[in-house]
Amino acid sequence: MTARDIGIRVRAAGHVDEEALAYVRAKVEAALDRPGLAGVSGEVRVTRATAQHVEQPWSAAAEIRVGDTLVVVHAQEATAHELADRLQHRLRGQTDRATHRADLARRASTPPPWRGGPTETEAAAEASPTV
Q: Looking at the domain assignment, is residue 54 inside a domain?
A: yes
* CATH code at position 100: 3.30.160.100
pTM of this prediction exceeds 0.75: no
> According to the model, what pLDDT value does residue 69 have?
86
Instruction: State pLDDT tens for residues 66-83.
Output: 888 899 999 999 999 999
Reduced 3-state DSSP string for the chain: CCCCCCCEEEEEEECCCHHHHHHHHHHHHHHHCCCCCCCEEEEEEEEECCCCCCCCCEEEEEEEEECCEEEEEEEEECCHHHHHHHHHHHHHHHHHHHHHHCCHHHHCCCCCHHHCCCCHHHHHHHHCCCC
Q: Looking at the domain assignment, is residue 95 inside a domain?
A: yes
Q: Looking at the domain assignment, is residue 110 inside a domain?
A: yes
Tally of domains within the chain: 1
Instruction: State pLDDT tens for residues 90-101.
Output: 999 998 888 877
Q: For residue 29, give its domain range.
A: 8-127
> According to the model, what pLDDT value does residue 33 have?
84
Q: Looking at the domain assignment, is residue 3 inside a domain?
A: no
Distance, in Å, from the CA atom of 49 to the CA atom of 73, rounded to the nearest integer, reads 19
Q: Looking at the domain assignment, is residue 115 inside a domain?
A: yes
Q: Looking at the domain assignment, is residue 86 inside a domain?
A: yes
Q: Looking at the domain assignment, is residue 69 inside a domain?
A: yes
Q: Looking at the domain assignment, is residue 1 inside a domain?
A: no
> According to the model, what pLDDT value does residue 45 have?
95
Instruction: State pLDDT tens for residues 1-53.
Output: 455 456 889 999 888 999 999 999 999 999 988 887 778 899 999 999 887 78
Report the sign of the C-alpha dihedral through residues 82, 87, 88, 92, in that order.
positive
